[in-house]
Structure 1
Amino acid sequence: MKAPLSWIKDYVDVPAHVTTDELTRRLTLTGLKLEAVESPGREITGPLVIGRVLTMEPEPQKNGKTINWCTVDVGDANGTGEPQGIVCGAHNFAPGDLVVTVLPGGVLPGGFAIGARKTYGHLSAGMICSARELGLGEDHDGIIVLPPDAGEPGQDVRPVLGLDEEVIELEVNPDRAYALSLRGIAREALVSVEGADRFRDPAVRDTPAPNADGHPVVVEDPAGCPVFVARKVTGFDPTAPTPDFMVRRITAAGMRPISLAVDVTNYVMLETGRPIHGYDADKVQGAIVVRRAREGERLTTLDGTTRELDPADLVVTDDSGIIGLGGVMGGETTEMSGSTTSILVEAAHWDAVSMFRTGRRHKITSEAGRRNERGVDPTICEAAADRVVELLVEHGGGQAHPGVTVVGSPPAVPAIRMAADLPQRVAGLPIDSRTVVASLQAVGCRVDADGADVEVVPPPWRPDLTDPQDLTEEVIRLVGYDAIPSVLPTPPSGRGLTRAQRLRRRIGRTLAGEGFVEVVSFPFVGASDLDDLGLTADDPRRDLLELSNPLNAEAGFLTSTLLPGLLRTAGKNVGHGNDDVAIFETATVTLPRHAGPAAILPVDRRPTDEEFAALDAALPAQPLHLAVVAAGDADSGGWWGESRPVTWADAVEAVRSVAAALGLEVTASAVELAPWHPGRCAELSVDGEVVGHAGEVHPTVCQAFGLPKRSVAAEVDLDLLMARAVDLRRAPSFSSYPVAKEDVALVVDTGVPAAEVEQALREGAGELLESIRLFDVYTGEQVGPGRKSLAYALRFRAPDRTLKEGEAAAARDSAVALAAERTGATQRA
């Protein structure tokens, strides 16, 4: 809200020593935040004076344009006292008129410097200014013609135009709609600034009593429109200009002057906060009826848009049909125009919730709707309408019709009971009951003290005051937010991290140590993302939970896998020149249970255990997953050696490292699953339960996400891993006795996983086995087609003794025998 300082002071006396900075500081402290302090003439420098037009000679030009060669008396402002020769293209003035003249050396808004220059065959020394050129409005087709008594030629015109006026721009919260008016801001200045007094309420005036001569009005929906006031002005001169003071104030407040009839309604709205609408009375047919719209009805509003109305919309109608969208925007059929001589003034109070919904439904934003949807004083409709009539008569030459229509009455404001010491308890300040009463009375409340409580009736312009907490805020803001002591509460002793937090930190540290960087992705996907992953139509990961209001129409589902977001992030890094990428993410995925929608429970009681269970059942499963993606080189090359590209084994090893950090051991076996490459995908299990997959990403998936071929990825269910995790890690015990080394090479079919052979060797070797490691894989003529040789290094050691000769060999033979039994392995010679 923009408010000229002089307009504020029309309604409240502010001590002379209070500067603009102090006024705005106090307003900010009590809830109206300062956005800016502007001055229309701040950008204008140099000589800007009153000039009197002496002569005006029209000169047609070859381009069809007619310019005026003028001589203008500017007194002694030009240093010579001689008339100034100026070329002007406007035609809305005549010899003898007083105009605004900027002389050479002046600079207008936008850095437009004025000098003497030759144009249209004349030396033009200055400019006769329009409102737009001075930054006072949008009118540039006609220059500003000053009143005959504005001053003498050569006099500085700044005070005449109010260019030195300071305009305060305030940020008004939605619950303080009363401050969207000069009436409300002046009232805030009264209670905010020490020494301010004599508040003159522009909405307090004697108004004529309702009578039977007014325009007939019927309100069919009193809940939506509790008050409707109608007044009429006849004999109005549609060519009458808007007075200069009104133009200046409307423009300074951020609105555009249009015509006297429209400007008066806007001026009164800015003054009182009450939106007003004017109809061309000669176009209104019969009685006005306020009702809800009916199915299929339409209205062409003032902005030229034809709108399909909703049955929840409040509309204003006459015998011809709908003529306005109540409280939001009028209709074209009764719009005031340049020929309007009879004006019907409407000042109605509308239900704020209905106004808000109608405005959003039709995507209409207007100054009137902005106020109506936040709540306006319902008791000032008659005063606002009377003020509009007064201004139209005074400046438009009209006559006030004797008829006055008032339908309905303002809704009653309920009383609020509050403990007198509540503000003190909330703020931690010594606020006595007298201060509470005085503060609430200062903002317009009616207060009755009743022992330890107070009964408060909020003023009608404050619909935001509905409970004791609202009243407490009013008291505290007037006492001063800056007076509230800054006391930090004593925090309770910490309970430490939860088990899940400890494990997640352990996982993060492990992956960081392996060279991975953590990222956070949006949890939203679309069907195209799953197509890019190469998922089949029956893949369970395509069962997604749809969002009712997605941020992006192309990503309208909660993801069931972390891979789309992680692959996309890796692809963006590669696209920006970061060829070597290793990233990970831990986040929940969403797996629908299809238990039906959750029931809407009442709020007047605690839900039963069965209702809680039903709510939980309706929620989707949200397990915690871990995903990693790597591309490029795993080890960089240099003088120390060649680089090593990532392989599917790096993805498996990343999961093995996480599992080892949790005290678990992962078993890998071959499987085929999108988005991994067939034959290069491992199914990862712990104690026989599948926890995830890892391997090389399929080339088509790499291409879809902008990754190089042979990029790798893994995704596991962290909930499953953490459920089995060892909380207390014990340091391993080491034997000081010598180790016995045994190597075996086993030949198996190429389709037998090395992990199965290793598991069989581990079980067959018994307790003496300390470690086992696959160190060579061979395929070739020596083992025959369809076969492969797996070489393992077995290490045996006893914790309490040196192994005797033959013990290690016996354990080795036992291991080989079990591997042969389970996998068909034969020992290679």
Structure 2
Amino acid sequence: MRSFVDPAIDTAALSHLLTMAGLEVEELEPAAAAFTGVVVAEVLAVAPHPDADRLRVCQVNAGGEPLQIVCGAPNVAAGMKVPCATVGAKLPGIDIKRAKLRGVESSGMLCSARELGISDEASGLLALPADAPVGTSIRDYLDLDDSVFVIKLTPNRADCFGMTGIAREVAALTGAPVRLPEIQAAPVSIADRLPVKIENADLCGRFSGRVIRNVNARAATPDWMKRRLERAGMRSLSVLVDISNYVMLEMNRPNHVFDLDRVQGGLTVRWAKPGETLKLLNDQTIELTADCGVIADDAGVESFAGIMGGASTSCTDDTRNVYVEAAFWHPDAIQGRARRYGFSSEAAHRFERGVDFADTVAGVERVTQLILELCGGEAGPVDDQTTQLPPRTPVRLRPARAARVLGVKFSDDQIATLLGRLGLAFERDGGDFVVQPPSWRFDIEIEVDLIEELARLHGYDNIPTVPPTGRLAMPELPEARRGAFALRHLLAGRDYQEVINFAFVEKAWEHDFAGNDAPVVLANPIASQMSVMRSSLIGGLVDNVATNRRRQIDRVRVFEIGRCFAKDAEARPVAGYAQTLRIAALAWGGVHAEQWGSPTRAVDFFDVKADVEALLWPRQATFAVAVHPALHPGRSASITLDGAVIGHIGELHPELVQRYELGSAPVLFELDVEPLLDRPMPSHRTRSRQPSVRRDIALLLPRMTSVQAVMDGLKAKAPAIVQDIALFDLYQGKGISESEKSFAFRILMQDTERTLADAEVDAAVQELVNHAQREFGARLRA
């Protein structure tokens, strides 16, 4: 990097500066392991070891008197330059001392790359170029004191996938000048061209290329290029592939080198046709779909456009003539295609985020420059076709807006300086800056993007931390209304624990717990098991029980208050989607925690019904037999308040108990929150000084009769002196027909002005009995 831009700060400070500017340095590692005492040496002579077939006795010039070193490397030969660890050197895990190997004295060690800790190559000695100066420290000669930054890029900074982008960023942050490689147009010595036709402008916005003939594909990749590729995480493969990869890493310019002799006819850039297949460079054969871009010749598809080349036109050691291509592929035409086929590529990673569309010709020239320098050859003219490039709309930056967003006021001169350091051209329009985004910055589209750039260059850690200020309105709730927190406190006081579950749930949950086969489906779920929005809280609570049971917890009492979502064309404020706030609770296991003071008993319907009544108090709801997809068909009820059904209560359906491996059925309820928030105000009532009279009646009724219906009927027909009617006993069994059950009611009567006479009490009771006989077929039990 310092060959591109060399700021006057050390490595650690540069790492911190990049991180604070948004380019997080995730790792900072030395380029090689720590070692000392290793120099460049020349092997003067090699002789067989007298007592070992695999060892050689070498005479070595390490910059002083010749050294005798015993070596077992198969590639050791007279005249080669190699790293030599002299006596006293310290290598990773090895201290070099004078020693005798099978009776022959050895004063040092000739080293492989693995022994130096710079790569895993251990098949022989690390051969150095013939011009390597003898006696020079190997750390200095191979730049082993370098550091390697691993930068965790955010998706918007695709321009920093190349050294050019990083250099621009460091220059902008430090003010140091940028020294980019000088790219000169290659001399054109042949007139050969390869015809290229672009059929789809929405696939390829620009396509540049040239023919180069008579290259030497067997030439060696220079060591400096190998080192840079390896430290960037790439292996050196062959000189043509290495040049292509090097230019991609240097300029952030993906490119491709075709073997020209294997291309039949011209090239066509188009969308794939159904049924076409392609064998890629990674030996994977894929079947292309109509939304995959390709480069094809007269014989068929040759390349997966913007993602990976094809095996049929790849370069080999026998390649003599090549076609160098650099193009701009629209991000929308590349995104997701590689993942569809289960692989990724360096080119796809860049193109799907946006690559500079102005440097395709420069990319071709840079590849050409390196090929001619390293492989020889003759270059033809550059063909450059432009079809449809992304518009780069000017962005207006208002200094006052930047000050409001950042809390830091920049002068006009400061803003102009910071924009200039970023290489952003601008014009003044009144007090505003009208900035023209460069072709390599796809992330600058709106004003806040420019404000972010000001913040980065100024330094996030230089922005003062100011607590927000503002007037907070704290309106009081009317006395006749309570908040949802009151419901939370009430259930917590009844031994329930609050949970917060995801609003994204499995589609199967909606069918199981809500009978909803048309849930709100997420367009981009965070996980496959969270693909729809919940329309009920029950599924999350059941999953809480299942999770706890797997962890050997034998008693669970949980509740949740949260939004549920359903399709509703009339809903507001989000048109088409109702967002109802609901409260649900579930009890599973013992009614009390196991203890000595009370017998162990499983929680039942009436325990939870008492919790619901406490939640509603002082208002009273009615409970009626009802069917709910998640509840036991014979042990569930609807909950009605002021004539409207606000929820359900009951045991979980036996099938769901078995499916979710709960062991025993939990009891649960789910209610709309809004009806629970209103509560009646207390009202004064004069207490009577007259004695009350109680009468008990036991009525035999058909087995399927609802007690709620009987009580509602009796209360509706009760004379004025009847103050209360309540059920206090239910009996069915011996002495009662199997088709009947006995309800025992307590009737409380009282008058505020006088003492009741026996006659009118008896008359009132008889009137109630007669009504029960007429309406419900009741019989007075003897």
Alignment partner of 1:14 is 2:39: no
User: Aligned residue for 1:296?
Assistant: 275
Alignment partner of 1:581 is 2:560: no
2:707 to 754, 770, 788: 754
User: Aligned residue for 1:167?
Assistant: 148
User: Aligned residue for 1:202?
Assistant: 181
Where do 1:608-623 residues align within 5 Å? 619-623=576-580
**Alpha-carbon spacing, 1:827–1:414, altered in 2? closer, same or farther (3 Å):** closer
> Equivalent residue of 2:144, what SS?
coil
User: Aligned residue for 2:69?
Assistant: 84
Output the amino acid matched with 1:779. Answer: Q
User: Aligned residue for 1:609?
Assistant: none
**1:744 CA displacement:** 1.0
Alignment partner of 1:684 is 2:666: no
- In structure 2, how many angstroms separate the alpha carbons of the residues matched to 1:792 and 1:439? 86
The answer to whether the Cα contact below 8 Å between 1:681 and 1:694 also exists between their aligned partners in 2 is yes
Where do 1:744-823 residues align within 5 Å? 744-749=696-701, 750-763=703-716, 765=718, 772-783=725-736, 785-795=738-748, 803=755, 806=758, 815-823=768-776
> Equivalent residue of 1:83, what SS?
strand
- In structure 1, how many angstroms separate the alpha carbons of the residues matched to 2:48 and 2:345? 42
The answer to whether the Cα contact below 8 Å between 2:657 and 2:663 also exists between their aligned partners in 1 is yes
**Alpha-carbon spacing, 1:114–1:471, altered in 2? closer, same or farther (3 Å):** same
Alignment partner of 1:635 is 2:588: no
- In structure 2, how many angstroms separate the alpha carbons of the residues matched to 1:687 and 1:582? 28
2:622 to 661, 664, 667: 667
- In structure 1, how many angstroms separate the alpha carbons of the residues matched to 2:721 and 2:95? 96
Where do 1:525-604 residues align within 5 Å? 541-542=516-517, 544-545=519-520, 558-592=533-567
The answer to which of 120-129 and 764-773 deviates more is 120-129
**Alpha-carbon spacing, 1:520–1:107, altered in 2? closer, same or farther (3 Å):** farther
User: Aligned residue for 2:668?
Assistant: 714
Give deviations 1:678-737, integer Å, cap 9, x for gaps.
54333433345444433334544422222233x342334415xx3375345437868485
User: Aligned residue for 2:409?
Assistant: 430
**1:404 CA displacement:** 3.6
1:742 to 666, 676, 694: 694
User: Aligned residue for 2:313?
Assistant: 334
2:250 to 271, 282, 288: 271
- Contiguous gaps of at least 5 residues in structure 1: 1-7, 60-65, 596-612
Output the amino acid matched with 1:94. Answer: A
Where do 1:164-563 residues align within 5 Å? 164-194=145-175, 196-197=176-177, 199-202=178-181, 204-206=183-185, 208=187, 212-221=191-200, 224-356=203-335, 358-359=337-338, 362=341, 364-396=343-375, 398-408=376-386, 413-419=392-398, 422-424=401-403, 426-496=405-475, 502-523=482-503, 541-542=516-517, 544-545=519-520, 558-563=533-538
**Alpha-carbon spacing, 1:113–1:301, altered in 2? closer, same or farther (3 Å):** farther
The answer to whether the Cα contact below 8 Å between 1:693 and 1:715 also exists between their aligned partners in 2 is yes
- In structure 2, how many angstroms separate the alpha carbons of the residues matched to 1:406 and 1:208? 17
User: Aligned residue for 1:694?
Assistant: 649
- In structure 2, how many angstroms separate the alpha carbons of the residues matched to 1:764 and 1:123? 120
**1:287 CA displacement:** 2.9
- In structure 2, how many angstroms separate the alpha carbons of the residues matched to 1:150 and 1:704? 73
Give deviations 1:377-436, integer Å, cap 9, x for gaps.
33333333223223223333x123254433449958554455565544543433222222
**1:302 CA displacement:** 1.3
**1:618 CA displacement:** 7.2
- In structure 1, how many angstroms separate the alpha carbons of the residues matched to 2:432 and 2:506? 58
**Alpha-carbon spacing, 1:497–1:712, altered in 2? closer, same or farther (3 Å):** farther
The answer to which of 316-325 and 111-120 deviates more is 111-120
**1:772 CA displacement:** 4.9
Give deviations 1:488-515, integer Å, cap 9, x for gaps.
4433332548899944333322222222
Output the amino acid matched with 2:550. Answer: G
**1:676 CA displacement:** 4.1
> Equivalent residue of 2:323, what SS?
strand
The answer to whether the Cα contact below 8 Å between 1:575 and 1:706 also exists between their aligned partners in 2 is no
How many residues end up aligned between the 2 structures?
777
**Alpha-carbon spacing, 1:159–1:714, altered in 2? closer, same or farther (3 Å):** same
> Equivalent residue of 1:70, what SS?
strand
- In structure 2, how many angstroms separate the alpha carbons of the residues matched to 1:200 and 1:301? 37
User: Aligned residue for 1:95?
Assistant: 78
The answer to which of 484-493 and 569-578 deviates more is 484-493
> Equivalent residue of 2:466, what SS?
coil
**1:746 CA displacement:** 0.7
* TM-score, with length taken from structure 2: 0.85
The answer to which of 779-788 and 380-389 deviates more is 779-788
**1:39 CA displacement:** 0.7
> Equivalent residue of 1:145, what SS?
coil
Where do 1:27-176 residues align within 5 Å? 27-41=18-32, 43-45=33-35, 48-50=38-40, 52-53=42-43, 68-72=54-58, 83-88=68-73, 91-101=74-84, 129-132=111-114, 134-137=116-119, 139-152=121-134, 156-176=137-157
Output the amino acid matched with 2:139. Answer: R
The answer to whether the Cα contact below 8 Å between 2:40 and 2:83 also exists between their aligned partners in 1 is yes
**1:335 CA displacement:** 0.2
- In structure 2, how many angstroms separate the alpha carbons of the residues matched to 1:188 and 1:53? 45
**1:50 CA displacement:** 4.2
The sequence identity of aligned pairs, in percent, is 31
**Alpha-carbon spacing, 1:451–1:586, altered in 2? closer, same or farther (3 Å):** closer
**1:256 CA displacement:** 1.9
The answer to whether the Cα contact below 8 Å between 2:398 and 2:432 also exists between their aligned partners in 1 is yes
**Alpha-carbon spacing, 1:771–1:189, altered in 2? closer, same or farther (3 Å):** same
**1:145 CA displacement:** 0.6
**1:334 CA displacement:** 1.0
1:648 to 605, 608, 631: 605
**Alpha-carbon spacing, 1:33–1:723, altered in 2? closer, same or farther (3 Å):** same
**1:642 CA displacement:** 1.5
The answer to whether the Cα contact below 8 Å between 1:748 and 1:823 also exists between their aligned partners in 2 is no
Output the amino acid matched with 1:640. Answer: G
**Alpha-carbon spacing, 1:184–1:54, altered in 2? closer, same or farther (3 Å):** same
Give deviations 1:626-678, integer Å, cap 9, x for gaps.
43332221024533231232122123223222222xx4212223456655445
- Contiguous gaps of at least 5 residues in structure 2: none
* TM-score, with length taken from structure 1: 0.81
- In structure 1, how many angstroms separate the alpha carbons of the residues matched to 2:677 and 2:768? 29
- In structure 2, how many angstroms separate the alpha carbons of the residues matched to 1:712 and 1:131? 66
The answer to whether the Cα contact below 8 Å between 2:281 and 2:308 also exists between their aligned partners in 1 is yes
- In structure 2, how many angstroms separate the alpha carbons of the residues matched to 1:394 and 1:123? 45
- In structure 1, how many angstroms separate the alpha carbons of the residues matched to 2:118 and 2:133? 20
- In structure 2, how many angstroms separate the alpha carbons of the residues matched to 1:381 and 1:698? 65
The answer to whether the Cα contact below 8 Å between 2:538 and 2:670 also exists between their aligned partners in 1 is no
**1:549 CA displacement:** 5.4
